[in-house]
Chain A
Amino acid sequence: MPTVLGRFCRKKPLGAAGGALMLLMVFTAVLAGPLSTHDPIATDAGHTLAPPGSRHWLGSDHLGRDIYSRIIHGARVSLIVGVVSTLFGSVLGGIIGLLSAYVGGKTDLLSQRLLDILQGLPLLVLALVMSAALGPSLTNVIIAISVPIIPRAARVIRSSVLSIREMQYVEAARALGLGHLRLAFRHVMPNTIGPFIVLTTAQLGSAVLVEASLSFLGLGVPEPYPSWGRMLSVSAAEYARNAPWLVLFPGITISLAVFGSNLLGDALRDTLDPRLRGA
């Protein structure tokens, strides 16, 4: 394993940098408590809109809350929403794709048409309608973001299962008299793990972006959880002319997180899926 990791770092320095960035984010999220300097939701009427300095490293917002501590704690919400919704959507979509390709025939046709319908809507619009319909809460935001991911995941896994299904080892396993479920999950599924990893890293970035957009519009994770998107919301925009740090730092953090996962995703795709190299 160390040699694999070392080779990856040498061949894909940018991907490794992205991975390091993601690790840093996870690290921040886990150690949010000791890393932060203030209580992220404590207001301080005496120090509203303070510029970045020794007291508030990245300034404070219109309620006197410390921006740095809020960003650190926001990493928890944004990463949890991003990672859980990506995994949930990809696993569910992956299983649908696996079964639909394995069974084939009318099941395949029907599920494909259903997914076509879901995919006819832009990711953000679907997530927007879903989260509005479900009401704002952490779980609902995760559901709202993972549902639009399902059709995308199903399509990727389906196409790779379609070719795996025809391979000789699957035929051999069937000749041994294995049941369909065992065949699908034990023999076919492990070979879709490459595309699956590529898919999840690629979707992670957009999941974080959608969460930020939802929170920005006030349909995301509710107060008092600090989330990066919420920090940029309308109330921040009002004060931005006098206090640009309100807008600048959370936005940079979102961009860095997504940038990291995109870099890592690209490098992983190049490594695991040589057909798409350079795309």
Chain B
Amino acid sequence: MSIVIFGLMRLAPGNIVDILFGSAGYVNEADKQLIMQELGIDRPIWVQYLHWLRDIVSGEMGKSYRYDLPAWQIIKPLIPVTVELAVISTVIAVCLGVPAGVISAVRQDTALDYGLRLLSLAGLSMPSFWLGMVIILTLVAWIGWIPPVTYVPVTENLPIHLVQFLLPGLAVGYRSSALIMRITRSTVLEVLREDYIRTAWAKGQSGRVVIWRHALGNAFLPIVTVIGIEFAFLIGGLVVTETVFNLPGVARFLVQAILWRDYPIVQNLVMFIAIVVILSNLLVDLLYGWLDPRVRFAG
């Protein structure tokens, strides 16, 4: 994994020194060499790779070329912003997606079902950053309220902070909810055809108990899988959404670092994202055993 990420970054034509000097307009070869030496990018590629690995293991994660600080020090304060946004989006996605999927399955082939399915497909089709822009524009046009351009921490003003996260959360969450709704619908449809559901109906249990307890209980496994997979997509969606809403998170910083060719930052951020994705997949696997005793005993 680390080799792939490292290799990808070194494909880039041009380096930070060229960019730094490019803006100055005047290049002194000796100065250039000195800076390259200081940053360690004059050494062979494999030496740079080993240095990077050492930095990761030591927890320092390399040094940013641009800010002249250890990468970890810059990334660390950005993590809570992205985590908060990811959690809010996931909560919104689950709260919208699961009920919509169940309703759509129970009312299969009615106008409501078609409406909900079209709505979810529309969600999959809209770029989340565009949805974010439209949300902001609508707010401005209807209430004349302009969301603050700069980031407001929780401690400063709680309501504005919440709005600042809810809007992008909605834009990202709507898209994710579409996938969750589709998988919920299809698994609930499948489960509803099973014998034990008929038994539950025959016992005279109310529709609500049958659907939400008996059916959803068994349909939950694929849903959890999709939520786990969705998490990876979510991070991709955050890249653009954080840029649109100007939230100082990891994803927005990744874009800036890419534009700056700040290899240590980009490498570490991409590595970080990969680790988060792998961990979330692992978490889903562990959740299986907890949610479904059959998996636990089989293993």
Flag if B266 contacts A129 (CB, 8 Å): yes
Q: How many A-B residue pairs have CB under 8 A?
A: 126
**Highest count of chain B CB atoms <10 Å: which of A117, A218, A248:** A117
Q: B126 contacts which chain A residues (CB < 8 A)?
A: 251, 254-255, 258
CB distance from B232 to the nearest CB of A (A): 5
Q: A130 contacts which chain B residues (CB < 8 A)?
A: 8
Q: B141 contacts which chain A residues (CB < 8 A)?
A: 244
Given contacts A259-B125, A278-B189, contact A128 B255 (CB under 8 A): yes
Question: Which residues in chain A, 83-134, are within 8 Å of chain B measured between CB atoms?
Answer: 117-118, 120-125, 128-130, 132-134
Interface residue ranges, B against A (CB under 8 Å): 1, 4-5, 8-13, 118, 121-122, 124-127, 129-130, 133-134, 137, 140-141, 146, 182-183, 185-186, 189, 232-233, 235-237, 239-240, 243-244, 254-255, 258-259, 261, 266, 270, 273-274, 277-278
Question: Which chain B residue lies CB-closest to A122?
Answer: B236
Q: Is A212 in contact with chain B by the CB < 8 A criterion?
A: yes
11 A-B pairs besides A134-B12, A219-B258, A232-B129 with CB distance below 8 A are A14-B118, A117-B1, A121-B277, A125-B239, A212-B130, A217-B243, A241-B137, A251-B130, A254-B130, A255-B126, A259-B122
Contacts A/B (CB < 8 Å), 13 sampled:
A129-B258, A129-B266, A132-B12, A133-B12, A135-B12, A217-B240, A232-B127, A244-B141, A251-B130, A254-B126, A255-B127, A259-B122, A266-B121
Q: Is A28 in contact with chain B by the CB < 8 A criterion?
A: no
CB distance from B191 to the nearest CB of A (A): 13
Given contacts A213-B240, A219-B258, A248-B134, contact A258 B125 (CB under 8 A): yes
Given contacts A205-B124, A247-B134, A258-B124, contact A123 B244 (CB under 8 A): no
Question: Which chain B residue lies CB-closest to A251?
Answer: B130
With an 8 Å Cβ cutoff, the count of chain A residues facing the other chain is 43
CB distance from B269 to the nearest CB of A (A): 9
Q: Is A262 in contact with chain B by the CB < 8 A criterion?
A: yes
Q: Is A216 in contact with chain B by the CB < 8 A criterion?
A: yes
Q: Is A80 in contact with chain B by the CB < 8 A criterion?
A: no
Main SS of chain B's interface residues? helix
Tell me the complex Cα distance, A130–B7, Å.
Answer: 10
Q: A258 contacts which chain B residues (CB < 8 A)?
A: 124-126
Which of B133, B239, B259 makes the CB contact (< 8 A) with A251? B133
Interface residue ranges, A against B (CB under 8 Å): 14, 117-118, 120-125, 128-130, 132-135, 205, 209, 212-213, 216-219, 229, 232, 237, 240-241, 244, 247-248, 251, 254-256, 258-259, 262-263, 266, 278-279
Flag if B186 contacts A278 (CB, 8 Å): yes
Tell me the complex Cα distance, A129–B257, Å.
Answer: 10
CB distance from B29 to the nearest CB of A (A): 24
Tell me the complex Cα distance, A240–B138, Å.
Answer: 11
Tell me the complex Cα distance, A213–B134, Å.
Answer: 15
Q: B258 contacts which chain A residues (CB < 8 A)?
A: 128-129, 132, 219
Flag if A217 contacts B255 (CB, 8 Å): yes
Given contacts A122-B277, A124-B237, A279-B183, contact A216 B129 (CB under 8 A): yes
Flag if B273 contacts A205 (CB, 8 Å): no
Flag if A133 contacts B11 (CB, 8 Å): yes
Q: A219 contacts which chain B residues (CB < 8 A)?
A: 258-259
**Highest count of chain B CB atoms <10 Å: which of A118, A209, A251, A266:** A209
**Highest count of chain B CB atoms <10 Å: which of A120, A122, A258:** A122
Flag if A255 contacts B122 (CB, 8 Å): yes
Flag if B274 contacts A120 (CB, 8 Å): yes
Flag if A117 contacts B137 (CB, 8 Å): no
